[in-house]
Amino acid sequence: MQYKYVIVGAGITGLTIAQKIASELDEKVLVIEKRGHIGGNCYDYYEQSGVLVHKYGPHIFHTTSKRAYDYLSQFTKWNDYQHRVLTYVDGNLLPMPICARTINMLYNLNLSTQEVEGFLKGVADSSREIKTSEDVVISKAGEYIYEKFFRHYTKKQWDMYPSELDPSVISRVPIRYNTDERYFTDQYQGMPSAGYAHMFGNMVKSENIKILLNTDYKEVIGDIEYDKLIYTGPIDYFFDYTFGKLKYRSIDVVFETKDTCDYQPASVVNYPNDYDFTRITEFKKLTWQKHDKTVICKEYPTWEGDPYYPVPIDAQKKLYAQYKEKADASKNVVFAGRLAEYKYYNMDAALLSALELFDTQINV
């Protein structure tokens, strides 16, 4: 087999590059994907009851980039969903990010938006030296908010307390002094109106794109001649774990179908202090699907399973740097995306990085 371009991985990174090669260079491209579907971790499907769910956990598209939004809008329409999250604290559901109503409910107060800022500054320990993520939160919001919203949630998410994590992990404490209760304030937000898989299907509708599913690239790459390989799989796997395995935090996503139309008052409810799961998502509230049943998922962080989140500690950064050096020296191979760069990317950032890669390393 002969292809000028071969792409490993059919996630948003790989598919964006494939779409650009096929449409703008009019060249043939082979995409090799080890799973049985395209879309990578953004993949969605209709589960047994007919409700659209996100297989690898909830994905909400949001961006400040007109370029990212316009690019995807060629392949999908959007609903105008604006993300809202509630947090379960001591039996109450409080808005997240922390805003005026959160403070009033948490402290049983009735402060105006002007008074909230002063109140928070009063409880925060602004003179605290910042050495860890714990210091970041306490310096901005004080011990009580740290305890109720951050300490246990982080332990569940990372299996480490904020005091064990670099300040960059909780670098920005989400606090608003106003009444805006949306989770994101990005200009462009929404969900693909017919789902992510449908949108990705539209991206790769081209005679120039061939997709090989259910195939680990190592099974076939020896039989393919190519000029350039774009690799979006795990970087340590590419180099046969020469320096050891990179660590990832994973999530066990457990779905439950409920015989009711409406399960919870927001699409996502966080559980920082109770239960073993971190949050519950009700998909219909994201997708606006009409159905007489509803499906929720609970997320249980784990060290087993698919690689999800790179672990933000120095030892892992150093290990990745060793692989990066080898990657930089590889001829005809470009490493891109969250697994090959060992980096957490939101969808829009992964997409923008893929567009940039096409402009600077392929269309040259």
Ligand X SMILES: Cc1cc2nc3c(=O)[nH]c(=O)nc-3n(C[C@H](O)[C@H](O)[C@H](O)COP(=O)(O)OP(=O)(O)OC[C@H]3O[C@@H](n4cnc5c(N)ncnc54)[C@H](O)[C@@H]3O)c2cc1C
Task: Enumerate binding residues for ligand X (CB under 6 A).
Answer: 8-14, 32-35, 40-42, 56-60, 216-217, 232-234, 237, 251, 308, 337-339, 345-348, 350
CB of 273 to ligand X, least distance (A): 21
Query: Toward ligand X, which CB reaches closer, 128 or 326?
Result: 326
CA distances from 154 to 42, 117, 151, 159 (A): 23, 25, 6, 7
- CB of 289 within 8 A of CB of 51? yes
Return the number of the residue (156 or 338) whose C-beta is nearest ligand X. 338
Secondary structure letter of residue 21 according to DSSP: I
**Complete DSSP assignment for 142-157:** HHHHIIIIIIHHHHHH
Closest distance to ligand X from the beta carbon of 307 (Å): 8
Under a CB-based contact definition with an 8 Å cutoff, are residues 149 and 89 in contact? yes
H and E: helices and strands count for the chain: 13, 17
Of the pair 60, 94, the CB lying nearest ligand X is at 60
Residue 47: CB minimum distance to ligand X, A: 17
CA–CA distances in Å: residue 48 to residues 54, 193, 294: 13, 20, 11
Two structure tokens written together for 93: 């559901």
Q: Which is nearer to ligand X, 144 or 241 (CB)?
A: 241
Least distance to ligand X from the beta carbon of 33, Å? 5
Considering only CA atoms, which of 85, 138, 31 is closest in space to residue 280?
85
Q: What is the closest distance, in whole angstroms, from the C-beta atom of residue 205 to ligand X in the complex?
A: 19
CA dist 172 → 137, 152, 187, 211, 311 (Å): 8, 17, 19, 40, 18
Select from 160, 150, 134, 146 the least CA-distant residue to 301: 160
Tell the smallest beta-carbon distance from residue 262 to ligand X (Å). 22
**Beta carbon nearer to ligand X, 60 or 197:** 60
Q: Which is nearer to ligand X, 124 or 229 (CB)?
A: 229
